[in-house]
């Protein structure tokens, strides 16, 4: 049988279309969906910070550095505490020397002497990874070294990270940094190694005032979930669409 090129192409196209049709019956799952289908998903870790209770002692930062082996004297840290001083003229001053590791004993803010009579309000805000529902850091990793667990916690594989820093640039919260020793991207893990053993995070345990709490947002009876559902809480920088899962009580509009 002789075939022209046109006939040949026609047959091929027809064959391809017909054989592709049954494929439409299948649903392609994203890795996240596939994982959700097989793994138990009754846990979603979330964090609750009560800014009214924080006194800026820095115990959480100390505890975190020791627990997670982040060099103690390096200025980088997985969690930190910020001090905000709002003056009566509306001006905002803020600082976080060494991430607030040693507490805030210095009267000067941003190297300025601030007379107490000029201060309208002042408060502390602890920060840590928000374990976003839509984490931009995971999106931009070129090799998939950073990933999100089914329970929402975002981790970094130190054996796979190439150290490009793209995830550091992508995080709107400045949570990530290069680990001074391992030289790979580093971040707060919600002390997942402790959570899976039924313990609290190191910072939660270290906080003498109960300003920090970690909990399972999928459990309606969890104290954290109860507060998030029933009280007025806010998240940091919601405008980036990252859906942060660290909730704040008493978040001021000045907080960055």
Partner 1 sequence: MIEGYVHGIEWTIKELFVYPNEFIYWSIQIVMYPYMTGLVAGAFVLSSLYHVFGQEDLKDLAKFALVFSFALLIVAPMPLMFHLQQPQRGVQVFFTPHFTSAISAFGIVFFTYSIIVATEIWFVYRKYFVEQALALKGKEGLGNTVMRLIYTTLTLGSYDISEEALHKDEKAIKILAGIGIPVACFLHGYAGFIFGSVKANALWMTPLMPVIFIMSAIVSGIALCMLTYIVIMEWKKFRIKTSKRPWEVTAEEVAGVELNLMRKTSKYLLGFMVAAITLELLDIVFRGYTAVKSWDILRTIIYGKDFFNIFILQYTFGNLLPFLMLLMPRPTVRRLVVALSLVLFGVFMMRWNVVIGGQAFSLTFAGYMHYKLPFWPHNIETYKEGFWGAFTIGVMPFVLFWGINKIVPSLKYK
Residues that bind partner 1 (CB under 8 A): 71-77, 80, 92-96, 98-99, 110, 127, 136, 138-144, 160-166, 168-181, 183-184, 239-241, 256
200/254 with CB nearer partner 1: 254
To partner 1, the closest distance from the beta carbon of 81 in angstroms equals: 10
Query: At its nearest, how many Å lie between partner 1 and the CB of residue 27?
Result: 19
**Best CA proximity match to 63, nearest among 177, 239, 196, 188:** 188
CB of 110 closer than 8 Å to CB of 93: yes
Nearer to partner 1, 78 or 212 (CB): 78
CB of 186 to partner 1, least distance (A): 9
Burial (0-12, 13-18, 19+ Cβ within 10 Å), 73 = exposed
**Nearest to partner 1 of 177, 224 (CB atom):** 177
Q: How far is the CB of 70 from partner 1 (least distance, A)?
A: 9
Nearer Cβ to partner 1, position 127 or 213?
127
Of 210 and 241, nearer to partner 1 (C-beta) is 241
Tell me the sheet residues that pair with 156: 146
Least gap, CB of 199 to partner 1 (angstroms): 25
Q: Please name the residue that has the structure tokens 């040949």.
A: 8
* CA distance linking residue 106 with residue 232, whole number of Å: 32
Minimum Å distance from CB 28 to partner 1? 14
Nearer to partner 1, 88 or 183 (CB): 183
Residue 163 vs 223, nearer CB to partner 1: 163
Q: Report the nearest approach of partner 1 to the CB of residue 245 (Å).
A: 17
In a 10 Å sphere around its CB, with 0-12 CB exposed, 13-18 middle and 19+ buried, how is residue 157 labelled?
middle
């Amino acid at each position: 049988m002789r075939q022209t090129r046109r006939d040949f192409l026609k047959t091929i196209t027809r064959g391809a279309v017909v054989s592709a049709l049954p494929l439409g019956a299948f649903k392609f799952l994203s890795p996240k969906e596939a994982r959700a289908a097989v793994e138990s998903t009754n846990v979603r870790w979330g964090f609750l910070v009560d800014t009214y209770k924080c006194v800026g002692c820095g115990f959480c930062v100390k505890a975190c550095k020791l627990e997670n082996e982040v060099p103690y004297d390096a200025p980088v840290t997985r969690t930190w505490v910020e001090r905000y001083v709002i003056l009566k003229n509306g001006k905002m001053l803020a600082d976080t020397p060494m991430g607030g590791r040693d507490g805030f004993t210095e009267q000067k803010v941003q190297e300025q002497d601030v007379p107490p009579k000029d201060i309208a309000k002042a408060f502390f805000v602890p920060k840590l990874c928000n374990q976003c529902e839509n984490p931009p850091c995971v999106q931009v990793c070129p090799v998939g070294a950073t990933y999100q667990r089914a329970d929402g916690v975002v981790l970094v594989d130190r054996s796979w990270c190439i150290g490009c820093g793209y995830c550091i640039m992508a995080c709107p919260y400045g949570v990530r940094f290069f680990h001074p020793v391992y030289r790979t991207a580093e971040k707060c893990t919600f002390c997942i190694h402790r959570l899976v053993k039924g313990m609290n995070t190191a910072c939660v345990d270290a906080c003498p005032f109960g300003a920090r709490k970690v909990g399972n947002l999928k459990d309606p009876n969890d104290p954290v979930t109860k507060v998030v559902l029933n009280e007025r809480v806010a998240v940091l920088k919601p405008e980036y669409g990252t859906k942060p899962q660290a909730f704040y009580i008493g978040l001021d509009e000045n907080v960055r």
